[in-house]
Amino acid sequence: MSLKSLLALDIGGGTQDILLWRAQQTIENAVKLVLPAPTQVAAARLRRARAQGQDAFLHGWLMGGGAVHRAVDQHLEAGLKVYATPSAGATFADDLAKVEAMGIHLVEQNPDGAASIPFGDLHLDQLRAVCAGFEVELPDTLALAVCDHGFSPGYSNRKFRFEQWSNFLQGGGRLDELLISQPPESMTRLKALQQQAPGCLLMDTAAAAAWGALQDPAVARAAEGEGVCVVNLGNMHTVAFLVQGGQVSAVYEHHTRCLDRALLADHINRFVAGDLGDDEVFAGKGHGCARLAGAPRALPGPPVITGPQRRMAQGLGWTTAVPHGDVMLSGCFGLLAAVQNRFSGRTGQADQEG
């Protein structure tokens, strides 16, 4: 079976990057959008309600936190009330008792006078309406990427998330296993997307970025040789992979806000060399570091970077991945490559041509 078209959404903490790909169209002519992330949109609506002195009613689906979490805190600090349905409230904590302890009132319906603020990472109707104004139809096949910390009441969500990477490595670290159609029940953000869009394909944002970087021919050649270190400098998370062929042999994850250029360089250099410990990363408020026994301890070329915060690596001599000539849509190109790989039954890098 061949892939005819794809709607790819890479949903991050700062932006949602969107690609409408069609097999008969040159990829440079594909419709591409970079829009504020859903969590940024919901946070802006909360700020507007706060400026107007309105209580807020959050409803819809579990979604990413970040900006919207800060906006809720500010709303409560202003002496205004925040109401939420249980599904929307689960955005803030796995344990709904903790959500209530934050000061959020869990309800089923909108109290009178509260500003109605929809929650959710996916808003296809809005995107469809925007595209319709330009006579563009949305593709039927849908691939989505988000960062999911998972459902882990009473246990560190940083540890829980990184355990997923460790399990992936221990299972062989195959790139083609990073694209899934049936997320585990514990990955509640992915499950929410699956419920909103049955039949969609799903991936972690960092995994999508790594796949996307490998669509740069120079990065693909390095990966097929002695290997390459791909570093995704996201707005919220920094994730690095050691990749050779179709296999990942090591993973590192930290919070971008906890890093500066010097610490980033130190961590990545020691990550590649196998000298960076998991406990050290976690103690610095990161997620962790894991590697397979046979992972290389030296690479012939510098790390390859992608992501919206790649300016952090300026001056380090690292290489920027430019898949299909576009530095911003690495995650979308990664989703496309992974789905093409799934449809064709191949492993490794996808075709370079659209």
Query: Does the pLDDT value for residue 350 go beyond 70?
Result: no
Is the CA virtual torsion 336, 339, 344, 350 positive or negative? positive
Q: Which of 107, 86, 85, 105 is nearest to 95 (CA)?
A: 86
- What is the reported pLDDT for 94? 85
- What is the reported pLDDT for 354? 35
- What is the reported pLDDT for 346? 54
- Distance in angstroms (rounded) separating the CA atoms of residues 354 and 132: 23
- Three-state SS across 265-282? HHHHHHHHHCCCCHHHHH
Cβ neighbourhood burial of 289 (10 Å; 0-12, 13-18, 19+)? buried
pLDDT digits (tens, 9 = 90+) for 234-280: 999 999 999 999 999 999 999 999 999 999 999 999 999 999 999 99
Binned at pLDDT 50, 70 and 90, residue 284 comes out as: very high
- What is the reported pLDDT for 10? 97
pLDDT digits (tens, 9 = 90+) for 161-196: 999 999 999 999 999 999 999 999 999 999 999 999
Share of the chain above pLDDT 70, in %: 97
What secondary structure does DSSP assign to 81-94, as a single string? -EEE-HHHHTTT-S
What secondary structure does DSSP assign to 5-22, as a single string? EEEEEEE-SSEEEEEEEE
Which bin fits 109, alpha (ψ -120 to 50), beta or left (φ > 0)?
beta
pLDDT digits (tens, 9 = 90+) for 290-301: 999 989 999 999
2-14 mean pLDDT: 95
- What is the reported pLDDT for 347? 44
Is the CA virtual torsion 182, 230, 206, 29 positive or negative? negative
Q: Which domains, ranges and CATH numbers included, belong to the chain?
A: 38-119 (3.40.50), 148-344 (3.30.420.40)
Instruction: Estimate to the nearest angstrom the gap between the alpha carbon of 89 and the chain centroid.
Output: 21
Share of the chain above pLDDT 90, in %: 91
Helix ranges restricted to H, the chain:
38-51, 67-77, 86-89, 96-101, 124-132, 157-170, 188-196, 205-213, 217-224, 261-273, 278-283, 330-344
pLDDT digits (tens, 9 = 90+) for 60-102: 999 999 899 999 999 999 999 999 999 999 999 988 999 999 9
